[in-house]
Structure 1
């Protein structure tokens, strides 16, 4: 498998809008406002930035400059129909960035659209339910074998060729599709529901897929958050899981010019997501136990957290692309199912190192 590197950036802007293409009784038809987040992913040429390692800061600056005309504005004065899809197109057409793979607009913490260069719209919306469960097949003494509960989160992802349309899939349509499932799952004991006798995150994602795909043909992934830092994805064929953590680390960039602040020792609270892909264990109901991921990765985590990254052996430089490559290489030694590492030095700004398919975009 070949290694792909994507650099990412995000920034926020505060704007009002009125989406006149929607029916008169639709809430978004009225004048309203959002704290938007714009995010981009790009496969940048090696020589694009002023020096190796400057890609994230340069990409962030380009995105901030592009979104500046939208900040504290009535968006209808900038573009006639400011849907999330059209905002993403507006940014895509104005960003001077090579290798641009995806432009996303996150209009709330729970909804957004990611638009690729082929005008394929990836629409997503997040839902929540509070339920109890236990895993009946885990080894004796495993904490998940005890009856416990979670504030689960589900993201429905729907892909569609937008074809230049102002709106691809209305978020309200996703609400209508989700409503009966919320009734089935919210404030319930999941093990008592037919098909969820072993309700792991993977099994819940597959259960939802089987029941949603018929009423939402555009469904592309189902994501289930078991906690805020781990969950599973299913697309009807493949299962993926992820584990998220934060790192507090110091660094400097070796190749930065001496007059650049990045050449000086500084630090970040990084957000790190480990993504793993594996077949489903039909007895356990999972691909890889989240606890095993944490335990096996823990020595690598300890080498990164609260340490100077520039002292890591075998690390060429401390930019997020180099770091994500290093983490992916080290993680695969103990977790061969690992095929993607997301590393953000600030919210949504960093690099992704991946082998094979990227999988679904998750909120930042």
Structure 2
């Protein structure tokens, strides 16, 4: 497997719009506004930034220069049909950035569109339900063997370009499809539902996929958040899980110029997300136990959290690209299923080290 490093940046903007192609009684047909977040990921060539390690800052500046043209504006004056997908295309066409892999528009915390390098636009919408479950096949004493509950979240990802509609897939279309699933899952014991006798995150993602695909042929991924920091993805063939952590660390960038503040000691509260890919264990119903992920990774976490990162042995520099590659290499020594590491120094700004499949772009 070849290692790919993507740099990521995000930028917010406040704008109004109306989507006139929608029916006149649709709420988005009327003039309204959003706090948008634009995201970008790029496989940047060496030497693109002013200095090694300065890529995230430079990428963020490029994105901000584009979103500044949209900030506090009526988007219809700029983009005739300002859907999330068309806004992502507008940004992509104006970003003077090599190696663009993904441009996203998040119009609310619960919906958005991600445009990939193949020009495929994946719309996503987040749903929530409150349910109880237990895992019947775990070892004696495992906490998940006891009856407990979660505030689950599900993200439905669909490929708009496969829909054949003028507007592709409207968020209301996804809402209508999701409604019966909410009724079936909300305030229920999942184990009592046919097919969910062993309701791990992976099994739940696969259960939803099998039923959603029949009514939403454009479905590309199902994402299940069991908690705010862990969950599973399924695309009809591959299961992926992730575990998210935060760490507070000090650093400086070795290659930053003397007059650049990043060359001085500073710090971040990082968001670190480990992604793992493995076949589904048909007895346990999971790929890897989330508890095992946490326990095995804990020594690495402790070496990072509340420490000066520039003192880590074997680390070339402390930029998020170098750090994510270092974490990926160290994590695979104890968790060979890890094939991707996301590391963000601020919201949506950081780097992603990938050895395997990238999976869906989770909301920031």
- Bucket of the pairwise TM-score, normalised by the shorter protein: over 0.9
| Alpha-carbon contact 1:104-1:114 (below 8 Å) kept | yes
CA displacement, residues 114-134 of structure 1 (integer Å, 9 cap, x when unaligned): 112332111110000000000
| Alpha-carbon contact 1:14-1:36 (below 8 Å) kept | yes
State the SS of the aligned residue for 1:69: coil
1:128 matches 2:128: yes
Q: Which residue of 2 aligns with 1:34?
A: 34
Q: Which residue of 2 aligns with 1:207?
A: 207
Q: Which residue of 2 aligns with 1:306?
A: 306
State the SS of the aligned residue for 1:257: coil
State the SS of the aligned residue for 1:178: helix
| Alpha-carbon contact 1:121-1:168 (below 8 Å) kept | no
Bigger CA drift: 168-177 or 274-283? Answer: 168-177
| Structure 2 counterparts to residues 86-101 of structure 1, below 5 A | 86-101=86-101
| Alpha-carbon contact 2:248-2:270 (below 8 Å) kept | yes
Alpha carbons of structure 1 residues 164 and 271: separation in structure 2 relative to 1, 3 Å: farther
Whole-angstrom CA distance in 2 between matches of 1:118 and 1:138: 41
Whole-angstrom CA distance in 2 between matches of 1:348 and 1:97: 17
Q: Which residue of 2 aligns with 1:296?
A: 296
- Displacement, 1:39? 0.2
- Displacement, 1:276? 0.0
CA displacement, residues 229-261 of structure 1 (integer Å, 9 cap, x when unaligned): 000001111100000010100000011111111
- Displacement, 1:69? 1.3
Q: Which residue of 1 aligns with 2:356?
A: 356
- Displacement, 1:188? 0.2
Whole-angstrom CA distance in 1 between matches of 2:2 and 2:161: 27
Q: Which residue of 2 aligns with 1:222?
A: 222
Unaligned runs of 5+ in 2: none
| Alpha-carbon contact 2:163-2:169 (below 8 Å) kept | no
State the SS of the aligned residue for 1:161: helix
- Displacement, 1:102? 1.1
Number of residues of Structure 1 aligned to a counterpart in Structure 2: 364
| Alpha-carbon contact 2:162-2:218 (below 8 Å) kept | no
Whole-angstrom CA distance in 1 between matches of 2:286 and 2:257: 48
| Alpha-carbon contact 1:120-1:163 (below 8 Å) kept | no
Q: Which residue of 2 aligns with 1:79?
A: 79
Normalised to the residue count of structure 2, the TM-score between the two structures is 0.98
Whole-angstrom CA distance in 2 between matches of 1:321 and 1:334: 21
Whole-angstrom CA distance in 1 between matches of 2:240 and 2:125: 19
CA displacement, residues 276-331 of structure 1 (integer Å, 9 cap, x when unaligned): 00000111110000000000000000000000000000000000000000000000
- Displacement, 1:160? 3.5
| Alpha-carbon contact 2:40-2:100 (below 8 Å) kept | yes
| Alpha-carbon contact 2:340-2:353 (below 8 Å) kept | yes
Normalised to the residue count of structure 1, the TM-score between the two structures is 0.98
Whole-angstrom CA distance in 2 between matches of 1:315 and 1:306: 17
Q: Which residue of 2 aligns with 1:19?
A: 19
Whole-angstrom CA distance in 2 between matches of 1:146 and 1:218: 37
Alpha carbons of structure 1 residues 295 and 81: separation in structure 2 relative to 1, 3 Å: same
Q: Which residue of 2 aligns with 1:161?
A: 161
| Alpha-carbon contact 2:163-2:218 (below 8 Å) kept | no
Bigger CA drift: 164-173 or 298-307? Answer: 164-173
State the SS of the aligned residue for 1:56: helix
Q: Which residue of 2 aligns with 1:102?
A: 102
Q: Which residue of 1 aligns with 2:141?
A: 141
- Displacement, 1:167? 3.1
Unaligned runs of 5+ in 1: none
- Displacement, 1:113? 0.3
